[in-house]
Structure 1
Amino acid sequence: MAGAQHCRTGGWRVVSWVIGRRSAWVVIVLWLAIGGAASPMAFRLADAQKNDASAFLPAEAESTRLLAAQRHFPGADAVPAVVVLTRPAGLTPADRSAATAIGGALAPFAAGPVLGPVVAPDGHSLILTVPLAQLDDAARFTDNVREMRRIAARIAPAGTETAITGPAGLVADAFQMFRTIESRLLLVTAGIVAVILLVVYRSPLLWLVPLVSVGIADQTAAGIVSLLARHGVLTVNGQSSGILRVLVFGAGTDYALLLIARYREELTRHRDPRRAMREAMRHAGPAVLASAGTVVIGMLCLLFGVLASDRGLGPVGAIGISTALVTMTTLLPAAMVLCGRRLFWPLIPRFGEHPPVTDTARRGPAARAAHDNALAAPTAPGHEDLTEFDLAEEPGRWVRIGAAIDRRPRTVWVGTSLVLGGLIVGLLTMNTSLRQDEGFRHRVESVRGIELISADFPPGVSAPTYVIAAGRVAPQVAAVIRATPGVAGVAEAGRAGDRVQFVVVLGDRPDSPASFDAVRELRSRVHRVPGAGALVGGNTAVNLDVRHAAVRDRQVIIPLVLAVVLVVLMFLLRAIVAPLMLMATVVLSYLAALGASAVAYRWIFGFPGADPSLPLLAFIFLVALGVDYNIFLMTRVREEAARIGPRPGVLHALAVTGGVITSAGVVLAATFSALIIFPLVQLAEIGFVVAFGVLLDTLVVRSILVPALTLDIGRRIWWPSRLARPDDTAGGTPPAISPSAPASPPRPRTPRHPV
């Protein structure tokens, strides 16, 4: 009867069907088929990536408008590959002849004439510029650059050094990094999850079910994203592709840990595994759904950004989380109930066994009175085979932690907040001016090429800046460009109709603060030329516009995410004070993690700076994922507060959720730390800040700060719900009796079953 009551709604009918004796097999076969069909597309996800900065520009950016204007110039929208050939003792006539031969050999790859060779004033090096056509196929573009490098190295005379750099070289090196590391990332992430599951469950069998389930979720999500990217529905780069894999593995494993923990608890209360799974889904399912929904909503808020990289990451992350949620609430329960209790061997949960709950004996007369009243209460429908051990007395680590916090909650939360505030001071060292050539953690040929060019040429030669203006004022525009501080040289590069294009060489290294200042000044001056309608673009201008867009997205999306998550928490917890408290702790945790990471980037990893998009991406992940763990804790606190009172409810909830939420946090942190193996600074930084932030949130904020605040605020934390009232009897639990009052006679107790 209880099972039928739970299945009246559509959601519970689905749950019952998923874990049915025959339909569970259908669910498993269906997911195996989906995973098998998605795998070929998942393995081709790297081929759908776009890793050049111009692919992510907002439509209204000046660099974007210049790229559109360049399409009217023959070959002007090509990506320049700059070939440098150098001899420390000075170039010989044979070297110059070889450079001409290199230009001829590379001509078949060019979308226009090969420019050069141009010899440096000191005669030690020369450069050629090969305009490469932009290709949607990133793998083919990278292979072309790699073949060009092989040809140049083969023709170059002995004693010389060659390198291919410029925007084309940087893009090719970045894509090659993603392509070579992607399979390793998948193996490392899966290995981390497998090891943690083995440690958590201490079972030779149980860990396989969540690992296989999350693996199928990963392949399915990657296949969906790859398909959408190939049809132009969304934009994917190496960063979002790498984040997708760790997000699915981390979040999916978290959901598995929480559901399996509640399922194991219910197996000690119900004889039938299917009934235990229904109860586990009934209690843990809403929290898992709410946490996944919060992350999805937070990710989708990125759609309000102007950077295509942000707008692309939002749907990619939402698809990953949604796929993990559906898989872990269908495939995982079906597999668990089919395997039954024996899956937990050798620690098989028995009906009537002492479940891992809280220690009422250590919390004084009020808690013991609530315990006795709970035992005396009528059995709730659907829990007819519960035993006395629902509120059994069992000491444990989280019971001791709760007791320590309970002694002086205000002192605990004030002290913890001060420590987190100290970490925030590290933000003073945050530097978000990472250059494109500084984004590689290992030596690559494009960066070496920039170094060789900078030794003998103006550094801006490796990434030219372009100016397009009206042809009738070309002399005035050229004069203004030459007079602009930071400009090392300018040349007219062709006309198309009534427009003229100039190639501008900056005197400072591309993407450096000085080069950005030069682009700003150049724009300011050419815009003032009457009737010029001038546009300034090129690689440095593109990255400057990307930085401006990143700041804009941060200012818009962060408040939006805070508002949306706050509304979700209010709806879920049916209160106002608790959600406001949770949001304050999550923001405090985010700022502390970002401050500590800034110090680590500079003094531990030696990174030259941080990517400008890091603060926003860290916020999205840490706030959305940090709220996850607070949802898991506070939904259980609310459930227990309605049953045994606010203070015992906090301590009980902390005791029963402490271990599993900590394990979930460790899993998520470990999976994101896999990004640190990437030889790209941007992904390594994201991996570290999210891993550190998740551990900080799990071990400090959720375990210490939130319980201390909840205990100190008391019933008022649930205002304006019924739980905030002193005489509340929500959930059918009788009010706590005083120690001197006679307790109601307890219901008959089932004999304890041996473990």
Structure 2
Amino acid sequence: MSGGHGFSGAGRVLGRLVGPRVKWLVVVAAVLVSAAAFAFAGQPKAVSTTAASLPDSAEAAQVAALREQLPSSGVTPAIVVYKAASGEVDTQAVEASRARAVAAVQKWAPTSAGAGGGAPATTIPPQLSKDKGTALVLVPLKADLPDGDNSEAVKALRAAVREGLPQGLTATVTGGPAFGADIGAVFDGADIRLLGATAGVVALLLLVTYRSPWLWLVPLTVVGTGDQVASKALTVLSRISEVRADGAVTGITSVLVFGAGTNYALLLIARYREELRRTEDRHDAMRAALGSAAPAILASGGTVILALLSLGLAEDPFAQSLGYAGAMGIAVALLYALLVLPAAMVLFGRRLFWPFVPRVGTLDPSHAGVWRRLGDAVTGRPVVVGLAAVAVLVTLALGGLSLSVGQSPNEQFLEKPEAVVGQEQLAAAFPAGTSEPATIIARASTADAVTKAAQGVAGVQEVRKAGGGDQLVELSAVLDASPGTTKAFDQVRALRTAVHAVPGADALVGGTDAEALDARTTADRDRWLLFPLILGIVVVVLLLLLRSVVAALVLVATVIATYVASMGASWFAFQHLLDYPPLAVSTPLLAFLFLVALGVDYNIFLTTRAREEAAGGSHARESIVMALAVTGGVITSAGILLAAVFAVLGVLPLVQLAQIGVIVGFGVLLDTLLVRSVLVPAVVSLLGERFWWPSHPADRAAGQAAGRSADRAGSAAEPEVSH
């Protein structure tokens, strides 16, 4: 048996839970625990769909916190954009529409719309563009509305502003509340769509894999139940911690549970079917299967869990939440795959595999199948094949030379919602930063000095007082750069430098562009910290499992190559085929985590089997060929299934989730079909026994066999002691 002592010992312990009587207890206990989770989990803690992914230490986050201390903190404006089809807007129609809008949202409006000494938002007259073809109106709403109330308020506002408009005049609602409502709408019913699409993909691929009318139902039922239990556990976790159970976190967690859980099921069932050809009793066959497969599954799942937990060190709150939620989900997937699935499988016996029932003594067709022939071909010419594989990876990686990171709010949707349309209309008619000005918070006594400093910054169009109190003042600075652009970020940096230099002001700059800039800085820091940490986790797990420094380093190098190639190929597709915007700032880190932690799974499954063959006396070349022959089919099925499950993220119309689905899905296929099937066998063939350095599986196995023979001989020669 291969693997570290702890992993192997776990396999033996798990084997005790599939006995003739114990299996029923395990299944009944799983049903009761799952039912309890469904019945008592409750509802997740409400989260704001507009919550910024910024640590509290970020300057923009500090500005947001200070704004809450100001008298105007309870106000956030929705922006109504009136646009004439031709000529000038009808100002009387705009005024009438604004009056209807204010009345329609009265129950969601602040009790005092005053802006810290400025005019109440309801009395600010409409702002007209230079050509008078567009008008802008601010409608104040409470800043602390729950997501449900915010969505209702925006819906009522949109209906009111359009009522009775003359022909040729349109009204569009945008601004912070509108973006929050539109993001919330993206996830309305998303959990049902995602679950349905994921279950459908998994069911189809399992049916094709097993070619049995009912075998696929067992792993699908077990994994699907595990997914729902993980979802309920996330609900509880969100109420007792700061973990956000928003649509993106729950969606990715569900994909992880389904993908990883099904991969573990495929590996276990394949090994169980293999053992059924050797063992008459199905319980003994499952014990043997667990003894061999559980170490690899535990190592694989442990790697993913530890890598996800490392996200707890990230400064990005979204990454932190996803890390904890995903780690919990993978733990649930492991429990259901290694505890519930084996017991459920042995309930039905061999007939579950009908019409391809494995009989004792029958030859495993994989030993002489296509994967055996591929292994022989690769190891027969390892230099040529290995160089060709590397050339493919390098070519794909070149597609990422122009990789760009950083999405503006308008670029985060696959389909433009009304909030984005309104922003585009504003950008076309008014100075670029009108709708999203920078916010400056400073000591009230230095307001004039800070205003003067800000006005002296190139690109600042206007600086005006937006609110304040006795201690602090809030200033609004309109920039001439389009939101989310490099020019806007440069202007924010220049603005910060200018106001920071005002003596005694303690001035800080926030706002949408400042938040985006700080998010980029946060993401850069997280990548520098977590990339090497995740790689270190993978190396340590591989060292414990394979006890080989060379093998661990080779496998880590291959998953890094897969990540780089997948990013390059995906970016080329985003730019030239899919017309996607730049990557979201957290996407490179999440893609790296999933591809490295999940991608190493298949190398773990392959090399642990190769080590098992080597321990039986096979040379490194023969051991990797045999490992590829017996695992090639199941690992390829698992890779295709995992890639398809990640592609399902595209049912959620957010660009970031679609991009993650493409990058990880393509990377998993690349790892499965090229790296694991071609490059790794070629490298093992070239290195020979050095691949296992400093351990020598064959020598170790021979030594253990000799020791057992000596023990038996000694026992036979020992004289009987008379009492």
Task: Flag whether TM exceeds 0.5 (same fold).
Answer: yes
Q: Distance in 1 between matches of 2:701 and 2:167?
A: 88
User: 1:378 aligns to what?
Assistant: none
Q: Choose the corresponding residue for 1:162, options 157, 168, 171.
A: 171
Report which stretch shifted further, 252-261 or 497-506.
Answer: 497-506
Q: What SS does structure 2 have at the residue aligned with 1:494?
A: strand
Which residues of 2 match residues 284-323 of structure 1 at below 5 A? 284-323=293-332
Structure 1 unaligned spans of 5+: 359-394, 735-755
The amino acid across from 2:139 in the alignment is V
Q: Distance in 2 between matches of 1:41 and 1:688?
A: 36
The amino acid across from 2:538 in the alignment is V
CA drift at 1:460:
1.9
Structure 2 contact 101–139 (Cα < 8 Å) conserved: no
Q: Distance in 2 between matches of 1:190 and 1:609?
A: 30
Structure 1 contact 643–730 (Cα < 8 Å) conserved: no
Instruction: Indicate yes or no: 2:432 matched with 1:459.
Output: yes
The amino acid across from 1:90 in the alignment is E
CA drift at 1:424:
1.0
CA drift at 1:152:
2.4
From the superposition, tell whether residues 87 and 668 of structure 1 become closer, same or farther in structure 2 (CA, over 3 Å).
same
Q: Choose the corresponding residue for 2:464, options 491, 497, 500.
A: 491
Q: Distance in 1 between matches of 2:706 and 2:188?
A: 58
Report which stretch shifted further, 407-416 or 332-341.
Answer: 407-416
**Residue-by-residue CA offset, 1:56-76 (whole Å, 9 max, x unaligned):** 211110011111211111232
User: 2:583 aligns to what?
Assistant: 610
Q: Choose the corresponding residue for 1:527, options 485, 490, 500.
A: 500
The amino acid across from 1:86 in the alignment is K
Q: What SS does structure 1 have at the residue aligned with 2:126?
A: strand
Q: Distance in 2 between matches of 1:269 and 1:636?
A: 17
The amino acid across from 2:683 in the alignment is L
User: 2:622 aligns to what?
Assistant: 648
Q: Choose the corresponding residue for 2:407, options 427, 434, 439.
A: 434
Structure 1 contact 722–730 (Cα < 8 Å) conserved: no
Q: Choose the corresponding residue for 1:148, options 142, 154, 157.
A: 157
Structure 2 contact 100–160 (Cα < 8 Å) conserved: no
User: 1:714 aligns to what?
Assistant: 688
Q: Choose the corresponding residue for 1:694, options 654, 663, 668.
A: 668
Which residues of 2 match residues 382-393 of structure 1 at below 5 A? none
User: 1:558 aligns to what?
Assistant: 531
Structure 1 contact 672–687 (Cα < 8 Å) conserved: yes
Instruction: Indicate yes or no: 2:55 matched with 1:58.
Output: yes
The amino acid across from 1:433 in the alignment is G
Q: Distance in 2 between matches of 1:546 and 1:420?
A: 31
CA drift at 1:132:
3.5
Q: Distance in 2 between matches of 1:581 and 1:10?
A: 26
From the superposition, tell whether residues 43 and 651 of structure 1 become closer, same or farther in structure 2 (CA, over 3 Å).
farther
User: 1:673 aligns to what?
Assistant: 647
CA drift at 1:546:
0.8
- Matched residues, number: 691
From the superposition, tell whether residues 562 and 41 of structure 1 become closer, same or farther in structure 2 (CA, over 3 Å).
farther
Q: Distance in 2 between matches of 1:136 and 1:321?
A: 34
Which residues of 2 match residues 301-450 of structure 1 at below 5 A? 301-358=310-367, 395-450=368-423
> What is the RMSD computed on CA atoms of the aligned residues?
2.4
User: 2:136 aligns to what?
Assistant: 127
CA drift at 1:226:
1.8
From the superposition, tell whether residues 137 and 230 of structure 1 become closer, same or farther in structure 2 (CA, over 3 Å).
farther
**Residue-by-residue CA offset, 1:483-534 (whole Å, 9 max, x unaligned):** 2222222211222222111122222322222221211111111111111110
Structure 2 contact 15–290 (Cα < 8 Å) conserved: no
From the superposition, tell whether residues 437 and 37 of structure 1 become closer, same or farther in structure 2 (CA, over 3 Å).
farther
Structure 2 contact 193–651 (Cα < 8 Å) conserved: no
Structure 1 contact 236–309 (Cα < 8 Å) conserved: no
Q: Distance in 2 between matches of 1:639 and 1:25?
A: 32
Q: Distance in 2 between matches of 1:77 and 1:534?
A: 21
Q: What SS does structure 2 have at the residue aligned with 1:162?
A: strand
From the superposition, tell whether residues 587 and 399 of structure 1 become closer, same or farther in structure 2 (CA, over 3 Å).
same
Q: Distance in 2 between matches of 1:554 and 1:615?
A: 8
Structure 1 contact 299–314 (Cα < 8 Å) conserved: yes
User: 2:24 aligns to what?
Assistant: 25
Instruction: Indicate yes or no: 2:580 matched with 1:580.
Output: no
User: 1:203 aligns to what?
Assistant: 212
The amino acid across from 1:261 in the alignment is A
Q: Distance in 2 between matches of 1:143 and 1:697?
A: 46
Structure 2 contact 310–530 (Cα < 8 Å) conserved: yes
CA drift at 1:651:
1.1
The amino acid across from 1:27 in the alignment is V
Q: Choose the corresponding residue for 1:83, options 80, 87, 107.
A: 80
Structure 2 contact 379–682 (Cα < 8 Å) conserved: yes
**Residue-by-residue CA offset, 1:101-147 (whole Å, 9 max, x unaligned):** 32343333223523434221433232232343344843343333223
Instruction: Indicate yes or no: 2:677 matched with 1:703.
Output: yes
Q: What SS does structure 2 have at the residue aligned with 1:271?
A: coil
Report which stretch shifted further, 171-180 or 341-350.
Answer: 171-180
Instruction: Indicate yes or no: 2:192 matched with 1:183.
Output: yes
Q: Distance in 2 between matches of 1:152 and 1:401?
A: 66
Q: Distance in 1 between matches of 2:449 and 2:212?
A: 78
User: 1:371 aligns to what?
Assistant: none
CA drift at 1:402:
0.7
**Residue-by-residue CA offset, 1:706-739 (whole Å, 9 max, x unaligned):** 11101110001111113387x97356499xxxxx
CA drift at 1:178:
1.8
The amino acid across from 1:148 in the alignment is L
User: 2:519 aligns to what?
Assistant: 546
Q: Distance in 1 between matches of 2:516 and 2:244?
A: 18
Structure 2 contact 11–294 (Cα < 8 Å) conserved: no
Q: Distance in 2 between matches of 1:267 and 1:139?
A: 55
User: 1:593 aligns to what?
Assistant: 566
Report which stretch shifted further, 490-499 or 264-273.
Answer: 490-499
Which residues of 2 match residues 724-739 of structure 1 at below 5 A? 729=702, 732=705
**Residue-by-residue CA offset, 1:135-188 (whole Å, 9 max, x unaligned):** 484334333322322232236444321121112222221121122433111111
From the superposition, tell whether residues 324 and 79 of structure 1 become closer, same or farther in structure 2 (CA, over 3 Å).
farther
From the superposition, tell whether residues 53 and 144 of structure 1 become closer, same or farther in structure 2 (CA, over 3 Å).
same
CA drift at 1:198:
0.3
Structure 2 contact 615–698 (Cα < 8 Å) conserved: no
Structure 2 contact 100–161 (Cα < 8 Å) conserved: no
From the superposition, tell whether residues 202 and 697 of structure 1 become closer, same or farther in structure 2 (CA, over 3 Å).
same
Q: What SS does structure 2 have at the residue aligned with 1:469?
A: strand
Instruction: Indicate yes or no: 2:510 matched with 1:537.
Output: yes
User: 1:723 aligns to what?
Assistant: 697
User: 1:368 aligns to what?
Assistant: none
User: 2:711 aligns to what?
Assistant: none
Q: Choose the corresponding residue for 2:248, options 207, 214, 239.
A: 239
Q: What SS does structure 2 have at the residue aligned with 1:460?
A: coil
Q: What SS does structure 2 have at the residue aligned with 1:431?
A: coil
TM-score w.r.t. length of structure 1: 0.87
The amino acid across from 1:491 in the alignment is R
From the superposition, tell whether residues 193 and 730 of structure 1 become closer, same or farther in structure 2 (CA, over 3 Å).
farther
Instruction: Indicate yes or no: 2:75 matched with 1:95.
Output: no
Q: Distance in 2 between matches of 1:230 and 1:162?
A: 39
Structure 1 contact 82–129 (Cα < 8 Å) conserved: yes
Q: Distance in 1 between matches of 2:431 and 2:43?
A: 40
